[in-house]
Every structure is written in C-alpha cells, then in structure tokens.
A and B are shown apart, each in its own frame.
Chain A
Amino acid sequence: MNHVLAPGMEGTAPEFAAQEGLLSWVASVDHKQIGIMYLLGAFVFFGVGGIEALLMRVQLALPNNHFLSPDTFNQLFTMHGTTMIFLVLMPMLTGLTVYLVPLMIGARDMAFPRLNALSFWIQIFGGIVLYFSFFDGGAPNAGWFSYTPLSEKTFSSLPGQDYWLLGLFAIGIGTVAGAINVIVTVIDLRAPGMSLRRLPLFVWMGFVNSWLMVMALPILNGALVMLLIDRELNAHFFTPEAGGSVILWQHYFWAFGHPEVYIMILPAFGIISEVIPTFSGKPIFGYGFVAASTVAIAFLSLSVWAHHMFAVGLGHLWDVFFGASSMAIAVPTGVKIFNWTATMYGGRLRFTTSMMFAVAFLVMFTIGGLSGVSFAVVPLDWQLTDTYYLVAHLHYVLFGGTVFALFAGIYYWFPKITGRMLSEHWGKLNFWSTFIGFNMTFLIQHLLGMMGMPRRVWTYPALPYWGSFNLLSTIGAFVLLFSMLVFIWNVFISLHEGALAGDNPWGGWTLEWATSSPPPTDNFDRVPPISGRRPLWDLAHPELADELVGRAE
C-alpha cells in the first residue's frame, strides 16, 4: 500500500504557507484560497444580481406600475443578466473547479498558481469596471447580449455600454487563463495511477469545459473589440448605413453565447455526478457514457448558435440546419439524466440537503431541457422566443439547473473547505424555500409567454391574468429572497458552531476525502494508491475494488 507524494511544482520552494491576515489572501497563489475567493466574490455578486431581480419583480408585480422608470428597469435587466452569468455562475463554478481539481487528482496545486491568482483578480477587476458604470452616467442598458445597432453610439451614447464591453473583455481574458490552467493541471499533475479514464467526473467535466472556454471566449472578445472600435473610433462593423451588418454581431455573440451556456452547465453536471453516487452508495451508472456525452455536448454546442436567431429571418435553410443540430444536442443531455437516475436505482439513498438539491436538479433541469427542445421546433420558437416563456426556460436551466447543482455542491464540499458541517436543519429549510420560491417565480412565466407577454418590458397593460400571474411570480421571488437569507444564516452559524467534519463525513470515494478538512497547504501528506475511479472505495474494500470486480462497459 504505497502512498505517494502529490505532484506539485517541482523545483519551486513551496512558500504557500497560509499566513494570517487579509493581505495574505490578496497575495495568495494557493488554489484553495483562490477557490474560496472565487466563491465569496461570486456570492457577493449573487446578492447584487438578486437585488436587481427583486427590484424588477417589484416593478412587474402590477400592471402599469411606476415603481421604476423604464431606463432604470432596462439597466437592471442588463446588469442582472450580465452579473449572474459572468460574475456569479462562471466564477462559482470556476471556484469549485479550482479548489477541487488539484485535490481530486492528488496534486498539490494547479499547474500555474500565479496565473490562477491573476485569473481571479482580472475577473474581479472586470466586475468592478462593469459596476463602475453606475457612477458614470448609468449602467449599460442594451441587454446582456447588447444587440447592435441599439448598442452602437447612435442609440446608446452613454459610456455604460463601453464599461460593459471593457469589463467583459477583462473577464474573458481571465476565464481563458483559468481554463488553460485547468487543462494543463489535469494533463500534467495527476497522481500516479490516475489515468484520464479514472478521473472523477467533476474533473472530467471541468476539463472538457475548459476546452470549450478556450474555444468560445475568444469569439466574444473578438466581437467586443469590434463593437468598442465601432463606438470609439466611429468604425462600421455593425452600422448598416455604412454597409455593416447588424446581424453579424448576433452571429458572433451567439457563437460565443451558446457554448457559454454549456460552459455554465457542464461543471454543474460534474457536481451532480459526484453527489448522487455518494448519497446513493453506488458508483455512477455508465461512467463512460456520461464522460463521452460530455464531449459530444461540447462539440455540438459549437454548432447550434443560430437557434438564438430563428426570428431574425435568416431563411429556412439556416433555421432547419440549426433546428436539427439543436435537437441533436438534446440526446447526450438526456442520456445524462437517465444515467443519474439509474445511479439511484438499487442504491441506499441518503437525503442530505446536498442530495435533495441534486434530485431536485434532475427534475428542474429536465423541465428546462424540455422547454429547450420546444424551442428547437422552429415554428414554436417563432412564437415563443423573446417572451416570458424563454425567460422561464433560461431560468429553469440556469437556476433550476446550475444554481441547484451549486447548492448541492456547496452543501457537499463545505465540510471539506471549512472543516465544519452545514446544519441539515437549516439546510432543509433552505432547500424547500428555494424549491418552492423558484417554481413559484418561474413556472407561471411559461404561461405568461404563451399569453403573449414579451420579455424585457418595464411594464405591461392590464390584460386578463397578466397582473395576477406577474404578482404570483413576484411573491415567489421574495420567497427566494427568504431562502437565500436562510442559506446565509446557515453558513454563518455553521462556521461558528457547526459539527466538526473530519476527513470524510459523507463516505465519499474520491481523493479530496483522503485528506483533512480543511486540507493542509500542500493538500496531502501522502496520496493514497490509485487503481480505479474510486480510490477510497478500493482502499476500504480491497476484495471489491472496482477494477478487480470489472466494469460493465
């Protein structure tokens, strides 16, 4: 039974001692501290984005309401979308990835610790640049995808739009840097025995996801610089009077934007792929298929972008092609849902808060995925796109999907990160209020869209049931506010009084559970031997070790 030294940065003096004090965090290049900072920063922005949403929901609670002016409302929905995507979901997933990947592969840190820190701080800088716009004439207000020519100087003369462009440009660079780091880490720093086929699925998904980031974010940055040049140098990329094409912006944006939504869901899939097996007491069903379907999704995601443009009038040929590719991508996604569900069959399911969020994810994400399939049916998209049905769809996949998965992951790994257990009592309250609040807010929006309510409207007329359905949705949003306060309370008291976690409170099988909670600076004193996908299972059950018993693929 030979434990080994974790691979690290051979040749450098490991001066990563976690010193006391705030300043040590700012200067830290330790992946665990950086991961925690990603999570904390993202959570702060989650609060900001949430308040932006609540303000909008108050305005929309009644027809013909005047709580907010149209311009304020438009700034809010622009900032809400931009914040949630770039400053909340992506950094949260990156934070968990950066924290866990080295641990899960038995390494001491990421391949490029300083680049890791740089990626984080660039992202924070980008967020600050974006929010600075509030102090310089107002936040951007052309929507989170800033369609031209509305976002050109002629129609958006204030600098808010430029802050959006610059902030996102910085975030794009940070994201690519982070992705490169993850890829090199996974390729180069795996502990002996950890072949690529034995990677925990969270690591595999993060790995594939990072390739997608390397491919997609530069497309965004290209588009951003073109629009910046249009705005600041009076150029003509997207101005029709000079022969520019406003539709080109959409192609570019969605060529980034569609992979982007998969960038936001693949690590979430990774979380679910860890949580459900642990709390079912059995390995993931169909590891190979789950891993392969991830690669399929990544490739396909680069080929579906114009399904965001079915209403643009590109012509039936475009619409048919992208409708087909969009339906195709539903297949590997659906496969995963079946695999996770099958994992539970024959298991001994422990309904910890983490598991409850994971199971709810299965149902919520299915709803979001199915409404997505309805959009792939092109004529349905011709009715439903740009309505509240679409707002419902995107929230079911990004909130019901990614956010629920994030909660599952946080409840699962909080003990490892902090050394203390989150309260299950407050956790259950957190879960139920989130589940109820979320569905109350967004389920009815499918119907509102079908009734003809377009999206991005600061108010609406008093048509039958528009008011009452919107009011229901607003109430749901406040239930969500309550659930987030419960979560914050849970974190607060657990940090102070939570039960001590120990190395492996859940009986997990991957390497992060083979070290103390929280892990020491160099992650492992010694890495356990790796001869399968579940090193700790193999250690505890040598006669039943996975690769001894044989896998069914």
Chain B
Amino acid sequence: MSRSKLGVSLFILSEANFFVILIIAYVYYHTIPAGGPSAASSLDPWRTGAFSICLFASSATLLLAERNLRRDRHRAHFCWLVITILLGAIFLVGQGNEYARLITGGVTWSRNLFGTTFFTLTGFHGLHVFGGLCALAIMATVALTAEMTDRRREAFAAVGMYWHFVDAVWVAIFAIVYLWAFV
C-alpha cells in the first residue's frame, strides 16, 4: 500500500472511532423513552433517501473517475470527478433543506435528546462530506490544470478512500437514524 493510502486508512480508522462515539450516544438515547419530537415523528426517510442515493451514486461515479485515471483518460476522469462533486453537493443541499424544515418545525439541538443527537451525528457527517468535497475540488483543479504525476495519483487514491468512507458512514447513519426509527 502506498504511503498516502496507508496514512488515509489510519485517518479513516480514527474518524471511524469518532463516529462510533456519536452513534453510541444516538443509539443509547434513542432507546430511552422521552418526550417531544422523535425520529419517527420528524424524519422523512423517503426524501432523505432520495438525497442519499445521490451520495451513494457519487461513490460509483468516483470509482469511474478512478478507473479512467488509471487508463489515463484524463478528460473522462475530470468529468466523472465533477459529477461526483455535484452529487455530493446535492446531498448537502438536501441535508440543509432537511435541517431548515426541522428547525422551523421546532426540532433543534436544544429541543430534546432526539434533536441533540440527531443534529450532532448528521451534522458532523455533513461536515465530513463538505471536507471531502473540498478535497475533491482540489483534485479536480489539479486534474484540469496540471500533470497527474505519480504522487498526485496516490493523493487522488487517498482522497477517494476518504470519500468512500464518508459514504459508508452515511449508510450506517441512514440505517440507524432513518430506517431503525420506523421498524
């Protein structure tokens, strides 16, 4: 494994631990009966599911970007990279939209434990998505304007791993927060 990939794998391990802590808090408090809005009463898994599909699709498009880079098809690589970023951005917009809906509906961080844990968990995920988008945008700029040296290819592979991780975390969060509430 290249140095960059090794480093990013370790970074992913540390971030995974961070998310596990947030998830444990969500799960623990979800099992305690409490008053006020809950996941079941405030969330819309269909709408969020639609945006989630964009995020999941972005992993697929990223894989396509990676494959094209391996085959030195730089224009295709760049295009798929841009599509990945767009899909990720749509996901974030969808999230923002959902937050706006919830907050105007009275579900806030301070409202109750559902609000606290929901916004914290999904919020930090969103932050990580945003960070990933920044990194992808940088890689897209490099792909457009500079030569893809070996080091840059390694860096891209590392960023790719991070993006897939962020995606995987959303699989877990979507299942635990949106699906489990309705089971």
B-contacting residues of A (Cβ < 8 Å)?
11, 111-112, 115, 176, 179-181, 183-184, 187-188, 214-215, 217-219, 221-223, 225-226, 229-230, 233-237, 242-245, 248, 252
Mask, B1-28, CB within 8 Å of A = 1, is 0010011001101110110111001001
- A214 to B110, Cβ gap below 8 A? no
- A188 to B3, Cβ gap below 8 A? yes
- Whether a CB of chain A sits under 8 angstroms from the CB of B109 is yes
Contact of A236 among B18, B22, B110 (CB under 8 A): B110
Instruction: List the A side residues contacting B13 at CB < 8 Å.
Output: 214-215
Instruction: List the A side residues contacting B28 at CB < 8 Å.
Output: 245, 248
The segment from B74-82, B83-91, B112-120 that touches chain A is: B112-120
10 contacts between A and B (CB under 8 A): A11-B151, A179-B10, A183-B6, A183-B10, A218-B14, A229-B109, A230-B116, A233-B110, A235-B116, A237-B116
- B7 to A111, Cβ gap below 8 A? yes
**Interface secondary structure of A, over-half rule:** helix
- A248 to B25, Cβ gap below 8 A? yes
- A242 to B17, Cβ gap below 8 A? no
In the A-B complex, the 4 residue pairs with the closest CB atoms: A222-B21, A234-B110, A218-B17, A218-B18
Instruction: List the A side residues contacting B124 at CB < 8 Å.
Output: 225
Instruction: List the A side residues contacting B115 at CB < 8 Å.
Output: 235
Mask, B99-138, CB within 8 Å of A = 1, is 0000000000110110111001000100000000000000
Taking CB as reference atom, which chain B residue is nearest A235? B116
Taking CB as reference atom, which chain A residue is nearest B18? A218
Contact of B18 among A222, A229, A245 (CB under 8 A): A222
- Whether a CB of chain A sits under 8 angstroms from the CB of B34 is yes
Given contacts A214-B14, A218-B21, A243-B112, 18 further A-B contacts (CB under 8 A): A11-B151, A111-B3, A176-B11, A176-B14, A183-B6, A184-B7, A219-B17, A221-B18, A223-B21, A225-B120, A235-B120, A237-B120, A243-B29, A243-B32, A243-B34, A244-B116, A248-B28, A252-B21
CA of A112 to CA of B91 in the docked complex: distance in angstroms? Answer: 33
- A11 to B116, Cβ gap below 8 A? no
- Whether a CB of chain A sits under 8 angstroms from the CB of B147 is no
Instruction: List the B side residues contacting A187 at CB < 8 Å.
Output: 6
- B17 to A236, Cβ gap below 8 A? no
Instruction: List the B side residues contacting A221 at CB < 8 Å.
Output: 18
Contact of A180 among B10, B29, B112, B150 (CB under 8 A): B10
Taking CB as reference atom, which chain B residue is nearest A183? B10
Instruction: List the B side residues contacting A237 at CB < 8 Å.
Output: 25, 113, 116-117, 120
Contact of A218 among B7, B15, B25 (CB under 8 A): B15
Q: Looking at the assembled complex, report how far the CB atom of A473 sits from the nearest CB atom of chain B, in whole angstroms.
A: 38
Contact of A112 among B7, B14, B150 (CB under 8 A): B7
Mask, B21-57, CB within 8 Å of A = 1, is 1100100110010100000000000000000000000
Instruction: List the B side residues contacting A226 at CB < 8 Å.
Output: 22, 25, 120
- Interface centre among A115, A187, A244, by most chain B C-beta atoms within 10 angstroms, is A244
CA of A123 to CA of B141 in the docked complex: distance in angstroms? Answer: 31
Instruction: List the A side residues contacting B21 at CB < 8 Å.
Output: 218-219, 222-223, 252
- A243-B3 contact in complex given A214-B10, A215-B17, A248-B25, C-beta closer than 8 Å: no
- Interface centre among B21, B32, B115, by most chain A C-beta atoms within 10 angstroms, is B21
Instruction: List the A side residues contacting B120 at CB < 8 Å.
Output: 225-226, 229, 235, 237
CA of A430 to CA of B57 in the docked complex: distance in angstroms? Answer: 65
Instruction: List the B side residues contacting A222 at CB < 8 Å.
Output: 17-18, 20-22
Interface size class of B (residues with CB under 8 A): 20 to 34
How many inter-chain residue pairs (CB < 8 Å) link A and B?
Answer: 88
- A229-B151 contact in complex given A112-B7, A234-B109, C-beta closer than 8 Å: no
CA of A243 to CA of B3 in the docked complex: distance in angstroms? Answer: 46
Taking CB as reference atom, which chain B residue is nearest A223? B21
Q: Looking at the assembled complex, report how far the CB atom of B96 sits from the nearest CB atom of chain A, in whole angstroms.
A: 17
Taking CB as reference atom, which chain B residue is nearest A252? B21
CA of A229 to CA of B3 in the docked complex: distance in angstroms? Answer: 35
Q: Looking at the assembled complex, report how far the CB atom of B51 sits from the nearest CB atom of chain A, in whole angstroms.
A: 24
Instruction: List the B side residues contacting A225 at CB < 8 Å.
Output: 120, 124
Q: Looking at the assembled complex, report how far the CB atom of B138 sits from the nearest CB atom of chain A, in whole angstroms.
A: 15
CA of A236 to CA of B111 in the docked complex: distance in angstroms? Answer: 9
CA of A206 to CA of B168 in the docked complex: distance in angstroms? Answer: 31
Q: Looking at the assembled complex, report how far the CB atom of B106 sits from the nearest CB atom of chain A, in whole angstroms.
A: 14
CA of A215 to CA of B10 in the docked complex: distance in angstroms? Answer: 10
Q: Looking at the assembled complex, report how far the CB atom of A257 sits from the nearest CB atom of chain B, in whole angstroms.
A: 13
CA of A330 to CA of B110 in the docked complex: distance in angstroms? Answer: 44
CA of A112 to CA of B112 in the docked complex: distance in angstroms? Answer: 44
- B25 to A180, Cβ gap below 8 A? no
CA of A450 to CA of B74 in the docked complex: distance in angstroms? Answer: 73
- B6 to A243, Cβ gap below 8 A? no
Q: Looking at the assembled complex, report how far the CB atom of A396 sits from the nearest CB atom of chain B, in whole angstroms.
A: 30
CA of A242 to CA of B10 in the docked complex: distance in angstroms? Answer: 37
- B109 to A180, Cβ gap below 8 A? no
Taking CB as reference atom, which chain A residue is nearest B5? A184
Instruction: List the B side residues contacting A235 at CB < 8 Å.
Output: 109-110, 115-116, 120
CA of A183 to CA of B117 in the docked complex: distance in angstroms? Answer: 33
- A184 to B110, Cβ gap below 8 A? no
- B10 to A184, Cβ gap below 8 A? yes
Q: Looking at the assembled complex, report how far the CB atom of B13 sits from the nearest CB atom of chain A, in whole angstroms.
A: 6
Contact of B109 among A115, A215, A233 (CB under 8 A): A233
Taking CB as reference atom, which chain B residue is nearest A232? B109
- A180 to B110, Cβ gap below 8 A? no
Q: Looking at the assembled complex, report how far the CB atom of A97 sits from the nearest CB atom of chain B, in whole angstroms.
A: 16
Instruction: List the B side residues contacting A215 at CB < 8 Å.
Output: 13-14, 17
Instruction: List the A side residues contacting B116 at CB < 8 Å.
Output: 229-230, 235-237, 244
- B7 to A180, Cβ gap below 8 A? yes
Q: Looking at the assembled complex, report how far the CB atom of A18 sits from the nearest CB atom of chain B, in whole angstroms.
A: 24
Taking CB as reference atom, which chain B residue is nearest A9? B3
Q: Looking at the assembled complex, report how far the CB atom of B100 sits from the nearest CB atom of chain A, in whole angstroms.
A: 17
Mask, B138-159, CB within 8 Å of A = 1, is 0000000000001100000000
Q: Looking at the assembled complex, report how far the CB atom of B127 sits from the nearest CB atom of chain A, in whole angstroms.
A: 10
Instruction: List the A side residues contacting B110 at CB < 8 Å.
Output: 233-236
Instruction: List the A side residues contacting B25 at CB < 8 Å.
Output: 226, 237, 248
Instruction: List the A side residues contacting B109 at CB < 8 Å.
Output: 229, 233-235
Q: Looking at the assembled complex, report how far the CB atom of A56 sits from the nearest CB atom of chain B, in whole angstroms.
A: 33
Mask, B52-78, CB within 8 Å of A = 1, is 000000000000000000000000000
- B7 to A11, Cβ gap below 8 A? no
